[in-house]
């Protein structure tokens, strides 16, 4: 019998290096990664339903879903899916975010989607895991540390109503591997940092005038000969000091590296095979090298 594994989620599921999904997929005859960067829980649900229809998912298959943060929006626009990521850290108009979004709404719809998914998969009779990027009951948007707007009583009622469903969701990445701090870990990520520095270099060079220090001097904080007027422009007009601090922070990419994905799986009780461990070690070394690397999952037919 052919074994099949289907994964669903956001960038914590499908990224430019292997994730938990790719690690688990090594043990199956067929594996499809339906995750998409920036995706919300609606997209994850829609993707599952589409996969069930297209692939005739049955009781012999295995499903892995990593639910993401609740406050994301998914739209089919101009012939393709559009994902905002967190609405509080996106390019959505401020008027829309201020007047047409509500944390209670996002929590309510996400919990309903998880409940519906559980009923569907239970009816199919397949094996499945519900993972999570962040806890459903968090009051703060993790990537920006901004408080979410909730109706406290409705939130409490929602969590009570859906408690049996939430009990089927395994502890989150945010709680386990990262101890509720995305930059608490400091893995070697020279390629990720190199990309951020090069993007910063382009923006700095485009804005610079002859009075500015070279980009390399600015990055290294060699500013002893720079006038106070120039410093003020760099700071207040362009916010370049803040951006430099962000680029040089310990962790330039909060997405888990392969070893952290393996750590997460083991933390929630999934023991890895020698084959999976060798796969993780190989790609962890790739992520830790300044050389460019390419990781691609097989393309799938989907909307």
Domain boundaries, the chain: 4-185+256-287, 190-247
Of 123, 242, 48, 161, give the one whose Cα is nearest residue 136: 161
Topology of domain 4-185+256-287 in CATH is Rossmann fold (3.40.50)
Give per-residue pLDDT as tens, 144-186.
666 777 888 999 999 999 999 999 999 999 999 999 988 788 8
The token pair at 204 is: 């700095």
The pLDDT score that the predictor gives to residue 65 is 99
The pLDDT score that the predictor gives to residue 145 is 66
Of 70, 65, 71, give the one whose Cα is nearest residue 45: 65
The token pair at 244 is: 């430099």
The pLDDT score that the predictor gives to residue 288 is 86
The DSSP 8-state label assigned to residue 70 in this structure reads: S
The token pair at 222 is: 């060699």
Question: Which residues on neighbouring strands pair with residue 5, listed in sequence order?
Answer: 31, 62
Mean pLDDT of the chain: 92
Which residues are CB-neighbours of 18 under 8 A, at least 6 positions away?
258, 261, 279, 280, 283, 295
Distance between CA 221 and CA 248 in Å, rounded? Answer: 12
Distance between CA 87 and CA 195 in Å, rounded? Answer: 25
Give per-residue pLDDT as tens, 182-196.
878 888 888 778 888
The runs of H, that is alpha helices, within 56-130 are 94-100, 103-124
Residue 35: pLDDT over 90:
yes
Of 258, 216, 302, give the one whose Cα is nearest residue 24: 258
Query: 215: pLDDT confidence band, cut at 50, 70 and 90?
Result: very high
- For residue 64, the number of C-alpha atoms closer than 13 Å in the C-beta half-sphere is 25
The pLDDT score that the predictor gives to residue 115 is 98
The pairing of beta strand 80-86 with beta strand 72-77: antiparallel
Total residues belonging to the chain: 303
Indicate the SS3 state at residue 81.
strand
Distance between CA 59 and CA 121 in Å, rounded? Answer: 9
Indicate the SS3 state at residue 257.
coil
Distance between CA 187 and CA 288 in Å, rounded? Answer: 8
Global pTM value: 0.85
Distance between CA 209 and CA 211 in Å, rounded? Answer: 6
The pLDDT score that the predictor gives to residue 52 is 98
Residue 142: pLDDT over 80:
no
269 phi/psi in degrees, rounded to 5: 100, 15
Question: Which residues on neighbouring strands pair with residue 129, listed in sequence order?
Answer: 64
Q: Are 83 and 74 in contact (CB under 8 A)?
A: yes
Residue 280, judged by CB atoms within 10 A of its CB (0-12, 13-18, 19+), counts as: buried
Distance between CA 51 and CA 61 in Å, rounded? Answer: 12
As a whole number, mean pLDDT of residues 131-144 equals 82
Residue 289: pLDDT over 90:
no
The pLDDT score that the predictor gives to residue 189 is 83
Among all chains, which residue has been given the structure tokens 């069930």? Answer: 52
pLDDT over 70, % of the chain: 98
Give per-residue pLDDT as tens, 83-103.
988 888 777 888 988 899 888
Distance between CA 208 and CA 42 in Å, rounded? Answer: 43
Among all chains, which residue has been given the structure tokens 């070394």? Answer: 285
The pLDDT score that the predictor gives to residue 143 is 63
As a whole number, mean pLDDT of residues 271-292 equals 92
């Amino acid at each position: 019998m052919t074994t099949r594994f289907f994964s669903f989620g956001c960038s914590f599921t499908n990224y430019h290096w292997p994730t938990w999904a790719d690690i688990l997929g090594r043990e199956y005859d067929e594996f499809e990664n339906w995750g998409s960067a920036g995706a919300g829980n609606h997209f994850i649900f829609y993707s599952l339903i589409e996969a069930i229809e297209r692939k005739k998912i049955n009781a012999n298959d295995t499903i892995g879903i990593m639910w993401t943060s609740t406050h994301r929006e998914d739209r089919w626009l101009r012939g393709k899916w559009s994902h905002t990521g967190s609405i509080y850290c996106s390019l959505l108009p401020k008027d829309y975010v201020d007047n047409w979004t509500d944390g209670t709404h996002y929590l309510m719809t996400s919990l309903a989607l998880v409940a519906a998914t559980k009923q569907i998969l239970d009816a199919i009779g397949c094996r499945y895991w519900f993972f999570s990027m962040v806890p459903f009951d968090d009051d703060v948007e993790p990537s920006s540390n901004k408080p979410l707007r909730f109706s406290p009583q409705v939130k409490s009622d929602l969590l009570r109503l859906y408690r049996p469903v939430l009990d089927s969701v395994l502890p989150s990445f945010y709680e386990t591997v990262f101890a509720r701090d995305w930059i608490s870990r400091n893995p070697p990520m020279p390629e990720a940092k190199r990309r951020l520095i090069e993007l910063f270099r382009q923006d700095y060079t485009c804005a610079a005038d002859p009075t500015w220090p070279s980009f390399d001097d600015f990055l290294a904080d060699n500013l002893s000969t720079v006038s106070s007027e120039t410093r003020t422009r760099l700071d207040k007009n362009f916010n370049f000091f803040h951006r430099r601090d962000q680029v040089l922070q310990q962790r330039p990419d909060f997405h888990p590296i392969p070893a952290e994905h393996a750590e997460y799986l083991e933390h929630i009780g999934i023991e890895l095979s020698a084959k999976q461990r060798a796969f993780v070690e190989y790609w962890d070394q790739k992520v830790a090298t300044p050389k460019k690397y390419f990781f691609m999952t097989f393309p799938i037919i989907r909307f």
